[in-house]
Structures are given as structure tokens and as C-alpha cells.
Amino acid sequence: MIVDERGPHRLSVRSTAKLNLFLEVLGKRPDGFHEIETVMQEVALFDRLEFEAVPGETRGTIEFSCNVPGLAPQGANLVERAAALFAKEHPIPSTLRIRLTKSTPAGTGMGAGSANAAATLAALNELFQTRIQSQALESLASRIGSDCAFFVRGGAAIARGRGEVLEPIELPSRWFLIAIPKISVATGAVYGAIAARLPEPSGIRTIPRAALASPSAALCANALFNRLEQAAYLLHPQLPRLADAIERSAATPVRLTGSGGALFAVFDDARSAQAAAERAFCDISDPSLDRLLVASSIASHGGPMPIAASPAAPL
């Protein structure tokens, strides 16, 4: 969560997105989820959340609105679920109004919904001065979704289990070219499709820590991996065609993040990423491409203000 504005009974924040630089699926768990090992990197793509506590009105009432109609059934949006969970643990002394302005689409594998939920918990903790410590906030967030705990702390981390067991790591500052397709990928469908394609124990990949932490983006790019990629590509043939086109134009490996469908490539600096984005914009005429973005990595919420994502071109 990045705070933009504070005021009496008001708080405006930005919630971020993430990329999976590495993602291996180890097998099916007894609880029905999949055991994963992944490296997540927070990036400067933002949704905006505005919170207002209205004194004197009905205590504990939560009013939610969003700029994307029908994003989720009433009460099912992760922001609403996070606010309801917070209110259950720490009763809200006023009416709470929340406005979500989405910029990162759903079904991209960038965890924007999970980030919205984590930002909601962190924002309410500040707004109502409940002084919940980070570890307790992470525990609360993990009850909402597998990726939510990561966004409480942000930065970069290895995530295990369902994604809730976190090991913070240090990674170099990077820049990313991110392609947003015009399709929404269902996470459940991708995990369902991978069931018959899980690796044998001898084929399980381990995290290439040295390559991902290398100062060279080229070495990092060659180490990127996503076990879900093949399943997502089989379900959505537009994705591998788009990935191949971007890879030819950008001259660097392109990978899927999460269960998809956003695609990304990694670069050393903003100039290289922007130049690749401009080439791709000129070269690619794929109707499945919605837009191209260039975004910086985020080291931590406690670090300097990240550089916001910029469009490569107005697609």
C-alpha cells in the first residue's frame, strides 16, 4: 500500500500488482489447493482505493463502490471481504465508505484483487488506529486469499504453500515490459488443466536464486519460469502467439505471470524497456493485445516512491 492522501476520517491509497518471476507447482494438497514455490516481485502498477469514515452514521456499515460495474457480485469483491473481516476482528465505530478505481484488469495473474484486499486491511489499520503489527496483518490477509499476505509487506519474496508462507528476498531494481491481453484467464481452469501435467519429482525445478538476483537482466530473463504457462496456453491459444510476437520484437524471453494472462519481459533500465515497448507497438498487430505498459519493480513499501507505470502507446 502506498499512501497518497491523509485527512480527518479519510485516506487515499494505491495498491500495487505483482509478477511471478518463477513459479513451480509441486503437487496437489489434501485441502484441494496446489503446493507451489514462487518468486513474486511487486511492480508499479496501481489501483486506487479511497476510504472515508463517516462519524455519527450507522456504526459498522460498509458501503462499497467501484468504477468497473459488475466486477464481482455484491459482497464478493475482495475489498468488501477484507473490510468485513477487519470489522469482525476490530469493530468499526462509524459508517465506512470505500471507492475502488481499477486500472489493472482482473484475470491477468498480477494479483490486483489480492493487492486491493491487503491494501484495505492496511488502510483500515491506519484509518482506525488499531495498531495491528505486520505479521498479524499478514495472517489476517492470508484468510482472504493465497497472494494477499505478500502484498501486506510487498517488495520481493519467495512464497510457498498456497502462496502464504513468505520469505522476503532482495532483488535488483528492474524494469518490465508488460502486455495486457483482451482476455480474462480463470485461475481455477488453469490449475484444473495442469493436473495431468504435474512434473515427476525428478523434474521439479528449484528457484534459480543466483540468476534472478544477478545484476544482469539478461541472466535473469533466461531464468524466468512458470509451470502454469503450458496449461494457460492450451486454454487460450492467443497467449502463445502474442508471447512469440513480443519475444521476436523485444529480443528477450517473454513469460506468463501467475495463471495469466499478462505477459512480461525484464530489462535493466527504463530506457531499454521503453524502447522494446515502442518496437513491439510498431511491430505487433495482434487483436488480442489490449495494451503495453512499462513499470519499475518496487523494493519495499518503506523505500522510495516507485515510478508509476507508463503506457508504451495508446492502444
Going from the C-alpha of 196 to that of each of 108, 190, 200, 240, the distances in angstroms are 23, 11, 11, 20
4 noted as active-site residue: no
For 97, the enclosing helix (H) or strand (E) is strand 95-101
Task: For residue 285, give every residue at least 6 positions away whose Cβ sits within 8 Å of its Cβ, in sequence order, or none.
Answer: none
Active-site option among 18, 28, 47, 268? 18
Distance between CA atoms of residues 177 and 275, nearest Å: 10
Q: Which residues contact 303 (CB under 8 A, 6 or more apart)?
A: 155
Backbone φ, ψ for residue 172 (5° rounding): -65, 160
Give Cβ neighbours of residue 164 (< 8 Å, ≥ 6 apart). 138, 142, 146, 148, 149
Q: Which three cell numbers stand for residue 125?
A: 489499520
Query: Exposure of 212 by Cβ count < 10 A (0-12 exposed, 13-18 middle, 19+ buried)?
Result: buried
Residue among 4, 47, 102, 147 flagged as catalytic = 147
Expressed in angstroms, the distance from the first to the final Cα of the chain is 28
Residue 197 carries which DSSP code? G
Q: Please say if 102 is a catalytic residue.
A: no
Task: Please return the burial class of 270, using the count of CB atoms within 10 Å of its CB with bins 0-12, 13-18 and 19+.
Answer: middle
Catalytic annotation, residues: 18, 147
